[in-house]
Amino acid sequence: MAIRIPSLRTLSVSLAGTAALASVAVIGASGMASAAAPTDAQSVAASIVPADQLASFDAIISHESGWNVNATNASSGAYGLGQALPASKMASAGADWQTNPATQIKWALSYMNSTYGSPNAAWSFWQAHNWY
Domain ranges of the chain: 40-129
The sign of the torsion formed by the CA atoms of 107, 26, 119, 112 equals: positive
| Per-residue confidence (pLDDT) for residue 12, from 0 to 100 | 37
| Per-residue confidence (pLDDT) for residue 38, from 0 to 100 | 56
Q: How far apart are CA 2 and CA 91, in angstroms?
A: 39
Identify the three-state secondary structure at position 84.
strand
pLDDT tens, residue order, the chain (132 aa): 344 444 444 333 333 333 333 333 344 444 444 434 457 999 999 999 999 999 999 999 999 999 999 999 999 999 999 999 999 999 999 999 999 999 999 999 999 999 999 999 999 999 999 999
Q: At what angle do helices 54-65 and 40-48 cross, to 10 degrees?
A: 150
pTM above 0.95, yes or no: no
| Per-residue confidence (pLDDT) for residue 39, from 0 to 100 | 75
Do the beta carbons of residue 97 and residue 41 sit within 8 Å? Answer: no
